[in-house]
Amino acid sequence: MSFLVVCPTSAIAEGGMGLFKAGKKSVLLVWPRGGEIKAFRGRCPHADVPLDEACFDGETVLCPVHNWRFDAANGACVTHAAQKALHAYPLRVVGDAIEVDLGPARPARNPAIGSAPPA
């Protein structure tokens, strides 16, 4: 687990959504009405496009490219149930910061591993 600070808790309100940067990745934070803040990869799983223009009605995230809707509580596609869901990230609130675990960091390249032994 490697949590990164995404934004302060004041950056999002119940019923709201925001697209944030964490490292090189974009993170979509949504706070469904009556629910808990959720974090998703900031790209649509349908065609892997950024969700910059996505809309949120307090329950579902709408990707405007093909108008698919995703349940903000779990990321499931509600337009086509058999399709991929939004990719969820673990989220935690520490003090007044929202932190998201984007997964394991890519290991540093080690040229010694996997290379041929010296002649």
What distance in Å separates the CA atoms of residue 74 and residue 94, rounded to the nearest whole number?
A: 22
Least separation in angstroms between CB 51 and ligand FES: 8
Using CB under 6 A, list all residues that contact ligand FES.
Answer: 44, 46-47, 49, 63, 65-66, 68
Give the residue with the Cβ less far from ligand FES, 12 or 54.
Answer: 54
Say how far apart CA 83 and CA 8 lie, in whole Å. 32
Nearer to ligand FES by C-beta: 30 or 63? 63
**Nearest one of 11, 8, 68, 6 to 41, comparing CA atoms:** 6
In the complex, minimum distance from the CB of residue 70 to ligand FES, in angstroms, rounded to a whole number? 9
Q: How far is the CB of 65 from ligand FES (least distance, A)?
A: 4
For every residue of 16-72, DSSP letters joined together read -EEEEEETTEEEEEE--TTS--EEEESB-TTT--B-TT-EE-SSEEEETTTTEEEET
Which residue is listed with tokens 């925001």?
18
Q: Which is nearer to ligand FES, 9 or 79 (CB)?
A: 79
CB of 114 to ligand FES, least distance (A): 37
Q: Which is nearer to ligand FES, 25 or 46 (CB)?
A: 46
